[in-house]
Structure 1
Amino acid sequence: MAKQKIKVMVCDDHALFRQGLISLLETEPDLTIVGEAVNGKEAVEMAKEKKPDIILMDIRMPIMDGISATREIKKNIPDVKILMLTVFEDELHIFNSIQAGASGYFLKAKPIDDLINIIRKTLSGDAPLSPEVAGSLIKELHKRNFSAVNSYNITEKELEVLSEVILGKTNKEISQELNIAIQTVKNHLSSMYRKFEVNNRTKLVHKAAETGVISDSEYSAALWTKEKE
């Protein structure tokens, strides 16, 4: 039996970029384009009809912006994955996108192969948070002066897994780094999702920073190490 293709919807008001992206995605055997929208309002309606697995959502669009559209779509279709697309590495937009329910964030200047890889990883629940995005989140969270109180009973091993997640490691890479089984990594992640009341890695990192489970300095050190590799 043939493997079911990933249903992708693209939402961007720039026709040249949107059509070029669709053309490239259509060359991938495991992806199928189920719809394209030119503004957030159209995306909300199309998502209800097409029921995509993942939506590539531009942030700045007319009529309704991508963040507002993401918020509305997640209310109607909680399980859909949404990746935000933008040319700007803006802390506030990244923060608000994740708050709205986005699973990740992709800079348009990055290679298309990176986006295709992120699409697949996001659908498998294994999408890493890039150092650029993690760094931007830290800056915005720092501005908001969240209380640094660890009241979530996170275990030492869970903190180790979380530290690897921040570095963008996949479950397989974390299992190799910590010398534990992949299923054990998944169990630790599931436990943290439950404790933080989140459902993906991006929200987990955001919540950990918000509550002070991991400090800004720990994040910065991890990102600096990643950049030096």
Structure 2
Amino acid sequence: MIRVLLVDDQQLIRAGLRMLCDAQPDIEVVGEAGNGRDAVSLAARLVPDVVVMDLRMPGVDGITATSRILADRPGTRVLVLTTFGDDDHLYPALTAGACGFLLKDAPPTELLDGIRRAAAGDSPFSPDVLRRLVRRAVHAQAGTPRPVDGLTSREQDVLDLVAEGLSNTEIAERLHIGVTTVKTHITSLMAKTNSPNRVRLALFARGV
């Protein structure tokens, strides 16, 4: 069972998230907080596996709360869920230690998948955010796509497109395969290249 702490200053948002999570057999909401100060206190007391963290809140904001929670319990996974996907929110959140970054307009299935992936040690990102991260990382580091030993030709095709910053849907459309097939290839690629997340996989492909 994945223990989740919900943090958002809007009660209606928390109620919706609780209903969504409570309907899942493998997710348990252990607490709610309406501000960063309460989030830090509850995280210490309830020891959640995943904290779903809003960023803009009165008093102690989500970035400060994330930093404090992880300073006390580094093993906690903080998954940002916010309306604001700009760099001014993204990079401070990642610097504070957030493991992933989802936008509030994401489909419910994407949020649930993000919670599960965060609990499993992965780094879930909304597609647009991930694409921007990959492109910025690739542009910041000189390098060109490289072939990798032990890959099938299709895996190499997928790897090259990940390096370009394409989302799973875009890769599927480009290669005329299903999104599920793309996900399977990316999981295999991460294992074969020892890449912990998609950004690192893109940098690997670029020879960085």
TM-score range, shorter chain: 0.7 to 0.9
Aligned to 1:76: 72
The equivalent residue for 2:85 is: 89
Residue aligning to 2:191? 186
Runs ≥4 in structure 1, deviation > 6 angstroms? 139-142
Match of 1:113 in 2: 109
Gaps of at least 5 residues in structure 1 are 193-199, 215-229
Correspondence 1:157 to 2:142: no
Note closer, same or farther for the CA distance 1:99–1:202 as it changes in structure 2 (3 Å cut): farther
Q: In the alignment, is the contact (CA less than 8 A) between 1:98 and 1:203 conserved in 2?
A: no
TM-score norm. by structure 2 comes to 0.72
- Is the 2:130–2:199 Cα contact (8 Å) retained in structure 1? no
Instruction: For residue 60 of structure 1, report the CA deviation from its aligned partner.
Output: 0.2
Give the counterpart letter for 1:54 in structure 2.
V
Q: How does 1:123-142 map to 2 (within 5 A)?
A: 123-137=119-133
Paired-residue identity, %: 31
For structure 2, the 5+ residue unaligned runs are 150-155, 169-179
Take 2:120 and 2:14, find their aligned partners in 1: how far apart are those partners?
Answer: 24
Which amino acid in structure 2 is aligned with residue 157 of structure 1? V
State which of 62, 69, 77 in structure 2 corresponds to 1:66: 62
Aligned match of 1:217: none
Q: Secondary structure at the match of 1:47?
A: helix
Counterparts of 2:97 and 2:124, CA distance in 1: 16
1:72–1:29 CA distance, 2 compared to 1 (3 A): same
> Residue in 2 aligned with 1:226?
none
Answering whether residue 1 of structure 2 is matched by residue 10 of structure 1, we say: no
Root mean square deviation, CA, Å: 3.6
User: Using the alignment, how far apart are the partners of 1:73 and 1:50 within structure 2?
Assistant: 12
Please report the TM-score for the alignment, with normalisation by the length of structure 1: 0.66
